[in-house]
Amino acid sequence: MRAMVYRGPYKLRVEEKDVPPIEHPNDAIVRVTTAAICGSDLHLYHGLMPDTRIGHTFGHEFIGVVEQVGPSVERLTVGDRVMVPFNIFCGSCWFCARGLYSNCHNVNPNATAVGAIYGYSHTTGGYDGGQAEYVRVPFADVGPTLIPDWMSDEDAVLLTDAVPTGYFGAQLGEIAEGDTVVVFGAGPVGLVAARSAWLMGAGRVIVIDHLEYRLEKARSFAQAETFNFTEYDDIVVEMKKQTDFLGADVAIEAVGAEADGSFLQHVTGTKLKLQGGSPIALNWAIDSVRKGGTIGVVGAYGPVPNAVKFGDALNKGLTLRMNQCPVKRQWPRLFEHVKSGNLRPSELVTHRFPLEEIAEGYHIFSAKLDGCIKPLVQPSAG
């Protein structure tokens, strides 16, 4: 089969690989019809994720057709069209029993620290991902779901990560009726978080980024007020001015380790890799919410970011909530929102690349060229 293969930071190729075999009775092999590139893939692409091995195939957002099933698989049959959550999870451990699918204890030798994710380095289990013609799906009776007839492929693929994660960010913010919600990051995750904030009763939604074309999308897709942080001496002071000098009720951090906005944090966090990323957007979130406010963090970090304003968060009595998104837990509600038109995920898609041109897709998405918000990838076997 053809598959995207990592060759080192900023280097990837499409190569010939063996079609993955069934390794366990509850595995399925899925022929990928559409995959996506996530902001999280950029952390891998930029060489920021520990234990990203040469030869690894990325891709944790994908849909496809069941090609083969192991002998114990009961809920899928060959030919089914399925959407696969980005988390690999067993469905029965202590954590899965509590809906903490992203924290499953059975799927990663490193499970005390992190669950398992397709195509996301050996830190999260070393499973090859779906930016390929075929992918092995463990626990096939647990993760995948049939794509409903009424759902488009582009909506379905976005429901495997970006949409549930944005929605989850808003859930973590514990939004109350009328709250002012400020979202950091106008990537696909932040845009969905902003749109979701309205669905959860927000009275005012503000989105902050520095890419004008994405802020434009925040206005059209999420009906948000927008602020370009490069236009203010201090975006936190501006947020205070905007909120009667109290601060927002809720902040959602949808930027993560590669945040711009602080030269020192950027150099030490993303260039020299002396810490687990630049926590500047997190610090802005801490400073922008009022005392007693809540922050939902979905931006991804390495284990140890430095100079996080933890003492300020404590003194302000903030609630910080965070996790990798337990995707499947979000699906019932999100299916309703997509069906009713409250959420239109496919409006985020700006680019579609054949798998053979995926290196170009990563480059354009990484460099934020050509108005790129969400790039999809189409393998030819699909």
Binding site for ligand NAD (CB under 6 A): 38-40, 42-43, 161-162, 165, 184-190, 208-211, 214, 229, 254-256, 259-261, 280-281, 298-300, 324-325
Q: Which is nearer to ligand NAD, 14 or 208 (CB)?
A: 208
Q: Which is nearer to ligand NAD, 69 or 189 (CB)?
A: 189
Interface residues for Zn ion in 144-183 (CB under 5 A)?
A: 161
Query: Which residues fall within 8 angstroms of residue 105, CB to CB, at 6 or more apart?
Result: 90, 93, 94, 95, 96, 111
Q: How far is the CB of 161 from ligand NAD (least distance, A)?
A: 5
Q: Does 84 bind Zn ion (CB under 5 A)?
A: no
| Two tokens, residue 117 | 């994710």
Interaction partner, residue 222 (Zn ion, ligand NAD, none; CB < 5-8 Å by kind): none
Q: Which is nearer to ligand NAD, 75 or 242 (CB)?
A: 242
φ and ψ at residue 197, rounded to 5 degrees: -60, -40
d(CA 93, CA 208): 39
Q: Which is nearer to ligand NAD, 73 or 206 (CB)?
A: 206
Q: Which is nearer to ligand NAD, 29 or 327 (CB)?
A: 327
Q: Under rule CB under 5 A, how many of the chain's residues touch Zn ion?
A: 9
Q: How far is the CB of 131 from ligand NAD (least distance, A)?
A: 15
- Of 294, 184, 170, the closest CA to residue 228 belongs to 184
Interaction partner, residue 100 (ligand NAD, Zn ion, none; CB < 5-8 Å by kind): none
Q: How far is the CB of 87 from Zn ion (least distance, A)?
A: 10
Q: Which is nearer to ligand NAD, 68 or 275 (CB)?
A: 275
d(CA 225, CA 235): 14
Phi-psi map region of 337: left, alpha, beta (phi>0 left; psi -120 to 50 alpha)? alpha
Interaction partner, residue 90 (ligand NAD, Zn ion, none; CB < 5-8 Å by kind): Zn ion
Interaction partner, residue 188 (ligand NAD, Zn ion, none; CB < 5-8 Å by kind): ligand NAD
Provide the mask over 104-143, with x wherever binding to Zn ion is found by CB under 5 A and - wherever it is not: x-x-------------------------------------
Q: How far is the CB of 195 from ligand NAD (least distance, A)?
A: 13
Alpha-carbon Rg of the chain, whole angstroms?
Answer: 20
Interaction partner, residue 255 (Zn ion, ligand NAD, none; CB < 5-8 Å by kind): ligand NAD
Interaction partner, residue 211 (Zn ion, ligand NAD, none; CB < 5-8 Å by kind): ligand NAD
Interaction partner, residue 209 (Zn ion, ligand NAD, none; CB < 5-8 Å by kind): ligand NAD
Residue in 22, 65, 93, 308 binding Zn ion, rule: CB under 5 A: 93
Interaction partner, residue 163 (ligand NAD, Zn ion, none; CB < 5-8 Å by kind): none
Identity of the residue numbered 34:
T
Q: Which is nearer to ligand NAD, 189 or 206 (CB)?
A: 189
Q: Which is nearer to ligand NAD, 70 or 185 (CB)?
A: 185
Q: Which residues bind Zn ion (CB under 5 A)?
A: 38, 40, 89-90, 93, 96, 104, 106, 161
